[in-house]
Amino acid sequence: MWVATFENIVPNVRKVFLSTNHPEGFCEFLNLAEVEVMSECLDGDACLTGFGCDEGNVAKCKPARQSSTLATRLNNTVVAGVAGKAVDGKESLSHTECETNPWWEVDLLSPREISEVILHNRQDAFFERLNGALVELIDEGGNVVGSAQHDPGVDGSIQFSWVTKFDEVVASRVKVSTFHGNGECDYLNLADVEVISTCIEGDACLEMEQCIYGNVAMCKPARQISTMQGSVAANAINGADSLAHTNCEENPWYVSRIFICTWVVYKHIFSYSCIPCLPFTASLF
Tell which one of 105, 192, 194, 203 touches Ca ion (CB under 5 A): 192
Tell which one of 85, 95, 173, 220 touches Ca ion (CB under 5 A): 85
- Rank residues 89 and 146 by Cβ distance to Ca ion and give the closer one: 89
Size of the site for Ca ion (CB under 5 A): 5
The contacts of residue 108 (CB under 8 Å, 6+ apart) are: 58, 59, 62, 171, 172, 173, 174, 195, 197
Q: Is 62 in the site for Ca ion (CB under 5 A)?
A: no
Q: Could you tell me if 144 and 137 are in contact, meaning their C-beta atoms sit under 8 angstroms apart? A: yes
- Rank residues 85 and 245 by Cβ distance to Ca ion and give the closer one: 85
Q: Is 90 in the site for Ca ion (CB under 5 A)?
A: yes
In angstroms, the CA 38 to CA 163 distance is 39
| Residue ranges in 248-267 that form contacts with Ca ion under rule CB under 5 A | none
Q: Where are the beta strands (DSSP E) in 50-143?
A: 64-66, 71-74, 77-80, 94-95, 103-120, 134-138
Q: Is 194 in the site for Ca ion (CB under 5 A)?
A: no
Span interacting with Ca ion, options 15-23, 32-40, 185-193, 255-263, rule CB under 5 A: 185-193
Span interacting with Ca ion, options 91-99, 143-151, 162-170, 243-251, rule CB under 5 A: 91-99
Backbone angles phi, psi at 52, to 5 degrees: 135, 140
The contacts of residue 73 (CB under 8 Å, 6+ apart) are: 79
Q: Could you tell me if 190 and 176 are in contact, meaning their C-beta atoms sit under 8 angstroms apart? A: yes
- Rank residues 104 and 166 by Cβ distance to Ca ion and give the closer one: 104
In angstroms, the CA 4 to CA 270 distance is 5
Q: How far is the CB of 284 from Ca ion (least distance, A)?
A: 29
- Rank residues 16 and 108 by Cβ distance to Ca ion and give the closer one: 108
Q: How far is the CB of 119 from Ca ion (least distance, A)?
A: 11
Span interacting with Ca ion, options 184-192, 197-205, 234-242, 261-269, rule CB under 5 A: 184-192
Span interacting with Ca ion, options 62-70, 158-166, 192-200, 234-242, rule CB under 5 A: 192-200
Return the C-alpha torsion angle 192, 217, 212, 84, nearest 10. Answer: -10
Q: How far is the CB of 104 from Ca ion (least distance, A)?
A: 12
For strand 222-224 and strand 253-257, is the pairing parallel, antiparallel, or unpaired? Answer: antiparallel
Helical (H) or strand (E) element with 155: helix 152-155
Q: How far is the CB of 46 from Ca ion (least distance, A)?
A: 11
For strand 71-74 and strand 77-80, is the pairing parallel, antiparallel, or unpaired? Answer: antiparallel
In angstroms, the CA 34 to CA 227 distance is 16
Q: How far is the CB of 266 from Ca ion (least distance, A)?
A: 27
- Rank residues 36 and 194 by Cβ distance to Ca ion and give the closer one: 194
Q: Is 88 in the site for Ca ion (CB under 5 A)?
A: yes
Contacts to Ca ion by CB under 5 A? 85, 88, 90, 92, 192
